[in-house]
Chains A and B, each alone.
Chain A
Amino acid sequence: MTEKIRLVDDNGIRTDGRKLDELRPIKLEAGVLSNADGSAYIEQGKNKILAAVYGPREVHPRHLALPDRALLRCRYHMAPFSVQERKSPAPSRREIELSKVIREALEPAIFLERFPRTAIDLFIEVLQADGGTRVAGITVASLALADAGIPMRDIVAACAAGKADGYILLDLNDLEDKEGEADVPVAYMPSLNRVGLLQMDGQLTPEEFEKAFNLAIEGCKKIYALQKQALKAKYLAIKEAVEETGQK
């Protein structure tokens, strides 16, 4: 290393041309897979993630079934071709942990107690990764759950904030995540005003942390609006198609 990479220039513009509090461009789509009960797809900058939901269905192996609620099983997985260097397709320590935190971020949003002794299986497949895949994974997963018709308290939106070059930034990309000083992923339920996931990697002062946290919440609210729009787009399209065929 000869010189440290500059992540934010003198005008407050980041390496990918964004402002400090700007999200990457997001494309969200619900109901993209025909064989799953519910599905969704997200492109957030260079991230491309697919989520599929099955269930509520019978639990196998049977001893895992819970007598009072549904079992939410979550698999976060990165495709071997999702990163520069080929990633082994076997679940890594990191993927197992992310599966757990994603599950725990989504569990409070779902009415699991309405489907005792069943399982809801959630698959999050990262096709292309560029930083912030855990939060993008939560964003698509909750869209897929809603698309599957699973009763929910709220849609979960997730977004990260962090610190790089001394600036507090919204929605870090891979470079800012790796070279920056800190990363704060947050999952948030906007209409209930509840946080489902809060992690921190790196070092921040209490003031910086609060600033980053608030910035992430603002990002979540923007993402929530996009999630609502994506669901609306799918179901209103269906409604129009039905009405058109009805008129013929």
Chain B
Amino acid sequence: MSEVRSSGHFVVPGEKLGVIEEFIPNSGTYVDDGYIYSSRIGYVLIDFANKKISVYPAARNISVPKVNSIVIGWVTNVQDSHATIRIIRIGRKFLSGFFTGVIHIADVSRRYVDNMYDAFRIGDLVRAKVISNKNNTYHLSTKEDNLGAIYAFCSQCGDLLIKRRILKCMACGSIEKRKTASDYGRAPL
């Protein structure tokens, strides 16, 4: 198999890129028996200054939630002590499917939250941070100013709630409580 040595060369998984004596293997590569191989479809990227070699992805870039990643999702269920979130976006990337995360009432806000229903309701769009993936679950937190509901809907009529000093439904006049993010109602999607 011919070795690929120039930047911008198209490679598929399993193509030999070099040996570990020449380069430090970076993203999109793996090492087997002293040789560096590509692990994805993409273009070879050689950083001669730092002696690093990587493969710039040409196919879809896969994202799964990791600890500390910022995610956006819908609230699918609210119980006394938990809210369930259907994660649809990780960082800047929308998922083709979804992952499920859970916010415990203690992780909602820095302040004491008496009632989970005063923090989130079903259908709200929430920005949260992954704090743990123990017990086969993604545990989320909204304990920061920029985390919390970014869009919420009236529990009476379903209209979008508008935030002035308080959260109010312009259609039916109902006043509601949420743990909102600092950019509530203005977050681009």
Contacts and interface: CB of A to CB of B under 8 A. Distances in A.
A232 interface: yes
Q: Which of A56, A190, A227 is packed against the most chain B CB atoms within 10 Å?
A: A56
Interface residues of B, number: 29
B98 A58 contact: yes
Contacts of A200: none
B41 A192 contact: no
B39 A151 contact: yes
A97 B16 CA distance: 34
A191 B14 contact: yes
A117 B133 contact: yes
B96 A37 contact: yes
A147 interface: yes
A148 B64 contact: no
A65 interface: yes
B82 to A, nearest CB: 16
B50 interface: no
Given A58-B98, A117-B133, A153-B37, A148 B60 contact: yes
Given A191-B1, A191-B14, A149 B99 contact: no
Contact of A190 (B14, B40, B57, B62): B14
Contacts, number: 92
Contact of B39 (A54, A58, A65, A153): A153
Contacts of B26: none
A65 B13 CA distance: 26
A146 B60 CA distance: 9
A151 B13 contact: yes
Contact of B16 (A111, A148, A191): A191
A100 interface: no
Given A56-B64, A117-B133, A118-B64, A146 B59 contact: yes
Interface string A43-77: 00000000000111110001001010000000000
Q: Which 4 A-B pairs have the closest CB atoms?
A: A154-B14, A149-B60, A149-B59, A152-B13
20 contacts: A37-B96, A38-B59, A54-B96, A57-B97, A57-B98, A57-B99, A58-B97, A146-B41, A146-B59, A149-B41, A152-B13, A152-B39, A153-B13, A153-B39, A155-B13, A191-B1, A228-B12, A232-B12, A235-B59, A239-B58
